[in-house]
Structure 1
Amino acid sequence: MDEIIRKLQPYFEKIPSVERPKAHVPFKEKFAWTLAILLLYFALSNVPVFGLSPESIDIFERYRAFFAGATGSIIALGIGPIVTASIILQLLVGAGIIKLDLTNPDDRAAYQDFQRFLVIVMIALEALPQILGGFLKPNLDVASMLGVSPGALSFIIFLQLFIGGLLIVYMDEVVSKWGIGSGVSLFILAGISQSIITGLFNWIVPAGSTMPAGIIPRWIWIAQNIPPEQLLTASGIGFLLIEGGILALITTIAIILLVVFAEGTRVEIPLAHSLVRGARGRFPIKLIYASVLPMIFVRALQANIQVMGMVLYQKGITIFGEYVGSQPISGIMYLLSPVRSPHDWVPALVKQSPYFADMPDWLIILHLFVDATILIAGGILFAIFWVQTSGMDAKTVARQLARSGMQVPGFRKSPQVLERVLSRYIPKVTIIGGAAIGVLTLVANMLGTIGNVSGTGLLLAVSIAYRFYEDLAKEQVTEMHPMIRKIIGEE
């Protein structure tokens, strides 16, 4: 397949892309580009899809925290196509079907061009099933007013989603090449931060509830409507913890602290510059070496499996499970669905839902066990794939350090020597970090989070915010000391 990719590369290269800057972009300009794209993202998230029926179902509703985008907007697909294309490529590379040497500039260029093409294909493949499957329905009144058929209006809806998907792709490229960090990370952080703030201060009372959705308004409602003596009972304390959102608040704060601690835990390999006497540094290998991106891939894989199940159920095929809206309620699709709060794994709370009233306890516990296995095993596997395909493996890092003139003090100056030193740490830390991030995600999901952003979403937001802070610090340092840009290979 790699030969096919190489032969088709001239055609892939014709796909428009954002041009890389030909010279160093000043920090203020990078920050301005990043802020402009962020504002554009928020603006687009408030542009509704024209002609969409209010009866439409958001099949990515349960994964919205890390898919970014906004329900019913033209960017409803969010980063889903980008993530799905990355998953497919990582699986193809990991299985040896694509045998491109990603340390070779030509092969890496072919890989990136093919990835851009695959993302565009995935935009269409994620939009079409939602329309053809009857999840995104055309508004018949709008079709009547325009004098067009529902099918024609459905095509207009598809075009809007496709354009929105392309805008996300190019906005991501602008941030990656002209801004700070990556657009995908920026969109995830923006969406999750918005959900957390809404989860704290939202005064709106959801349908079927008597309490406001936000934690702080909920506390005020509880103080005004429930006697203190009732809250001090065992059931009252349980009510405060679960329904009052105290457990979600504690979990959110604890996970933030744990992620910051994990991001700061690292092995530092001493380095010296071979040409500049006295110039020393350290190469940090973080505990979460592959960051939290493996969790995006794990949840995105689950999301796509769930979408397939929903499409099959919509067509009358119920062998894999039944659905109510976007919620699986039986079969293997129920077992493969993510745990998001205590209401998904504590038998007494699960059975409060009329759809799960008769569900046996062992099946509820099995659901938790399956999700735990998916998170931990998937975290390890995707961490390994990500490190190999993103140039973070020992061989690639050793070449980059050697090219910049760095070496380990006391060792011979050679990429092979650097690779042997790095190989002592990177593979082990990759596996441990992938498992650790899976466990953190599982715990956060089991206990619940503010705004129902899910453990995955919260981990992503904290890790992205931490790394964005590091990127800002790095940009400021390189701006003050241009020589550092040459040492780290940016010029």
Structure 2
Amino acid sequence: MAQGFENLGKIPELRNRILYTLLMFVVFRVGVHITTPGVNPTALAQFFSASNSNLFGLFNMFTGGALARFSIFSLGIMPYISSAIIFEMLPMVVPSLDRLQKEGEAGRKKFMQYIRYGTVILSLFQAMGITYGIEVMRSPSGLPVVSHPGLSFMVISVIALTAGTVFVMWIGEEISEHGIGNGISLIIFAGIVAAIPAAFINALKMVRLGELNIMLLILIVAMMILVIGFIVFVESAQRRIPVQYAKKMVGRKLYSGQSSYLPLKVNTPGVIPPIFAMSILLFPTTIANFIKIPIFEGVSRYLNPAGVLYNVIYVVLIFFFAFFYTAITFKVDNVADDLRKYGGNIPGIKPGKSTAAYIDRILNRVTFIGATYVSLVCLLPTILINQIHVPFYFGGTGLLIVVVVAMDTIVQIQSHLLYRNYDSLLKKASKK
């Protein structure tokens, strides 16, 4: 496989997919630096520098630095994720949507169109809230962030932010279709990775100025390396359920039964639970920080990312989405039916409902372990960094997303290489 990676440039389709993905990254990064019309960049930079809270740091990380510039991509991909969450839950209570999901490719396309419409609606509401809040902001020196607030700025800003979110959604879908990897996850990945150089440069400046101990910085880097190794280890782990296939008569030959296994990943949903949980928590608290109304400010204080309540809700949401996403993507009844259809069975377990119940029980245990692992990775590094008061926002959640998305992308590249090698072997065999 290492030799295959060396020959990446010799596979036209894979090379084009990787280049297309990188091109979309460039387009995304250019959009991050395009400020919304009517905003004073100097005053905005001063404001965020003075109020660089954990909340703004987290949201800014997920938008790739767009929020700090109030660019056209300030909302990022979060409205799309929130819309996807809503529409993934609706089929449980709306029978027509449940039927739509079962209509094959045509139903899936229509369902995705509904998610896009939901993204536009959520973007409009979020854009209005953020625009209303930024109009009254002033820098520490007294400069207004918006030079000419009013109806015209509100309309232009809402249109720009909504259009920016739709464009980011389009970039993600284009990467998924014509590039390599999951486009939505890679958009978040690109935003986080883009902040790494600035975070390390900032840490080095603090060391040079004596604000940060060099040994403490080494400890943080060592902790990150250990967490990365732990993530790779757990993401590669599987719970293998043994499967025995019955003997088959093909023509006049009797083929003996084969032994195989059903692999269950420890973290089946991947980065979906922390991303969904973060999107739900960041939405109300971000609006609360922009709109200066007592009830919203109270919500913001209670949902401080460094507070106990925020972290407890975060863990609860991670567990909820881990079980929820696993349940809707891994249909145990379908797996049990497929095993029975192809003559497979789990030793000691009756085919049919008993097999489905057994797989479901094992899957629930594995999902619980996976959700616990995700919670620990997302919280522990962030809590430790908050305790030692280091302004370094590349915490556990960012590490998990970067490592898991990178691993998934590498797996897709390996699949393309394997298909290419298999296709070459078939051609050689046909020539002989």
- What is the TM-score with the length of structure 1 in the denominator? 0.67
Name the aligned partner's letter for residue 119 of structure 1.
T
Query: Does 2:414 align with 1:427?
Result: no
SS in 2 for 1:453: coil
Cα shift at 1:259: 0.9
Name the aligned partner's letter for residue 394 of structure 1.
V
Distance 1:483 1:420 in 2: 43
Note if contact 1:192-1:457 (Cα within 8 Å) is conserved in structure 2: yes
| Equivalent of 2:38 in 48, 51, 56 | 51
Q: 1:132 to 1:267 in 2, by over 3 A?
A: same
Distance 2:423 2:343 in 1: 17
1:342 is aligned to none
Distance 1:68 1:122 in 2: 20
Query: Does 2:58 align with 1:62?
Result: yes
Query: Does 2:378 align with 1:441?
Result: yes
The two structures, once aligned, show a CA RMSD in angstroms of 4.0
C-alpha deviations, 1:279-314, integer Å up to 9, x for none? Answer: 9865432211111211111111111121343355x2
Distance 1:310 1:45 in 2: 21
1:74 is aligned to 72
Uncovered stretches (5+) of structure 1, i.e. residues with no partner: 1-24, 203-212, 227-238, 322-330, 340-366, 485-491
2:84 is aligned to 86
Structure 1 or 2: more helix by fraction: 2
Distance 1:288 1:70 in 2: 30
2:286 is aligned to 307
| Equivalent of 1:252 in 207, 221, 224 | 224
1:294 is aligned to 273
Distance 1:393 1:110 in 2: 22
Name the aligned partner's letter for residue 363 of structure 2.
I
Q: Which moved more, 1:461-470 or 1:152-161?
A: 152-161
Which stretches of structure 1, 4 residues or longer, exceed 6 Å deviation after superposition?
95-99, 136-144, 271-281, 399-403, 409-418
Cα shift at 1:60: 5.0
Distance 1:75 1:271 in 2: 49
2:183 is aligned to 183
2:303 is aligned to 336
SS in 2 for 1:78: coil
Distance 1:402 1:27 in 2: 37
SS in 2 for 1:257: helix
Q: 1:398 to 1:161 in 2, by over 3 A?
A: farther
SS in 2 for 1:268: strand
1:374 is aligned to 313
- Count of aligned pairs: 386
| Equivalent of 1:28 in 6, 9, 15 | 15
Distance 1:435 1:482 in 2: 41
- What is the TM-score with the length of structure 2 in the denominator? 0.75
Query: Does 2:172 align with 1:172?
Result: yes
Name the aligned partner's letter for residue 404 of structure 2.
S
SS in 1 for 2:98: coil
C-alpha deviations, 1:320-363, integer Å up to 9, x for none? Answer: 53xxxxxxxxx453232212xxxxxxxxxxxxxxxxxxxxxxxx
Structure 1 residues 228-239: aligned runs within 5 Å: none
C-alpha deviations, 1:220-249, integer Å up to 9, x for none? Answer: 444xxx9xxxxxxxxxxxx6279x534432
Query: Does 2:284 align with 1:318?
Result: no
Name the aligned partner's letter for residue 265 of structure 1.
A
Distance 1:92 1:31 in 2: 35
Note if contact 2:127-2:162 (Cα within 8 Å) is conserved in structure 1: yes
Q: Which moved more, 1:98-107 or 1:406-415?
A: 406-415
